[in-house]
Amino acid sequence: MDKRKLLFNLKQTVFFAFFIIAFNTVFAQKGNFVTMWDRTNGVGNRPTWFSTGDETEPSWRGTERGITYSATTGHLYICSRKEGVPSIHIVDPLTGDDLGEVFTNGIEDGGDIDGGGYRLNNIVTTEGGQIAACNMTLASGPPTPEGWIKAFRVYKWSYESVMPEMILDYDEGGYRLGDKFSVFGDLSGNARIYAVPGESNKVLKWTVTGGIINEVPEIITLAGVTSAGTSASVAEVPGTTNFYVSGKGFLPTYFSADGTNLTQIMISAGPGRLCGRLAEINNELYMALYQGASNYMNAILINMTDHGENVGDEDIYGETPSLGTDVTAYGEGAVDLAVVNDTMRVFVCAPDIGIAGYTAQDLPLGIKNINKETIELKNYPNPFTSGTTIEYNVPAGFNEIITVSVYNITGKLVREINKTNYSSGKNTFFFDARNLPEGVYTYEIKAGNYTNANKMIIIK
């Protein structure tokens, strides 16, 4: 072999070796996911209330397209319409166990709040502690002469145990709406409801003020965009009026409140990514996206702290395990992420296949640990009328003063309790709420440099 050919082969070898190293460096998992639970057909324990993909009626297939976690109740909710009957299932986020169902009376049976067509399609929870779900319409408009409902409808549950209330009935525009939607704020106070029409460059935004919704949406045009893809959703950036839009075939793009295109993230094109959800941990912002292509059916977690074009493949934390190999329901699915017990959790819902929950084990909220143990905080019952028991766990050897503070929805301190007489392990005390009005409250525990908080609901 002559020297020139030898040199050429050597250069090729070095190039491909460098490429492989670079590829693995960019795309390797940077964090580890631990499976908390897996309820899928792959392991043979898919929920009985899941569609199976072989139903005789095509519209009954791939019907589980919404999953959401509530920091108020500490529960996970999954929306289904197996065999055409809408239902919302309550699941323990740490074990995956079924805990019951939310009432869907009036939606499932027809009547005044009958959703029509795909009567429940997506579900979210709010900062105010409400559950919200929407139907899906292929072309929003008034009812047909035959009585078919074409409106985009949103329903609210103030608590798990109440009947749904229809809060939005939008029958204009001719838009496809309801594949995904978002709610930010408190629907009993001030909130924003977003929906992105399919294959458009529009965002519809309904404003809620003092618990009253303005049924005429602000129509925001996304600058520099022809289409945000299908199943597009909006994720508000905490502490700002800016938001991300992400859809199938449309990478998450950062916009100001008026639709000004700020910048798009620069990660490599992915396998049918949609349903971007945001959460903060360790003063950093993360987004989870559902990946619905063949052999994926999972979530990808991305550090979005630097925003837009500053976010690249090196900011990908990793991907959860695949839930299956077959593409169902056009690659549809859903994810949610939340900080539960001081650690980031990611929840995945793959239609016809199942649900799963994961821990991003390299993303614990370290400032909330004392001697590697946590002062756990909860109350029961919740909601309650006149009072509730607050329970907290104290690590052995801890001797700081413990303060429990209760705040109303506006952040005003309404009660403060100091605890100096306590023992290691479980401690409880009764919180008397007879003099407090109905509403959502935050109760916070402080001990030294440790803080933790939960929400509780008073009903009268």
Residues 329 and 218 in one domain: yes
Residues 243 and 117 in one domain: yes
Domain membership flag for residue 2: no
Q: Do the beta carbons of residue 96 and residue 37 sit within 8 Å?
A: yes
Rounded CA separation 431/37 (Å): 34
Residues 391 and 259 in one domain: no
Residues 211 and 140 in one domain: yes
pTM value > 0.85: no
Residues 277 and 383 in one domain: no
| Domain that residue 135 falls in | 31-365
- Tell me the one-letter amino acid at 208: V
Residues 77 and 210 in one domain: yes
Domain membership flag for residue 391: yes
Domain membership flag for residue 5: no
Domain membership flag for residue 10: no
Domain membership flag for residue 213: yes
Residues 177 and 245 in one domain: yes
Residue with tokens 């292929």: 138
HEC sequence for 199-267: CCCEEEEEEEECCEECCCCEEEECCCCCCCCEEEEEEECCCCCCEEEEEECEEEEEECCCCCEEEECCC
Residues 213 and 347 in one domain: yes
Domain membership flag for residue 402: yes
pLDDT in tens, the chain (460 residues): 454 444 444 434 333 333 333 334 344 577 889 999 999 988 889 999 998 888 777 766 788 999 999 999 999 999 998 888 899 999 999 999 999 999 999 998 777 788 877 899 999 999 999 999 999 999 999 988 888 889 999 999 999 999 999 999 999 999 999 999 999 999 999 999 999 999 999 999 999 999 999 999 999 999 999 999 999 999 999 989 999 999 999 999 999 999 999 999 999 887 889 999 999 988 899 999 999 988 899 999 999 999 999 999 999 999 999 998 776 778 899 999 999 888 899 999 999 999 999 999 888 764 333 333 456 788 999 999 999 999 888 776 667 788 888 988 777 889 988 887 788 788 899 999 999 999 888 888 887 656 777 889 999 8
Residue with tokens 């939005």: 168
The number of domains in the chain is 2
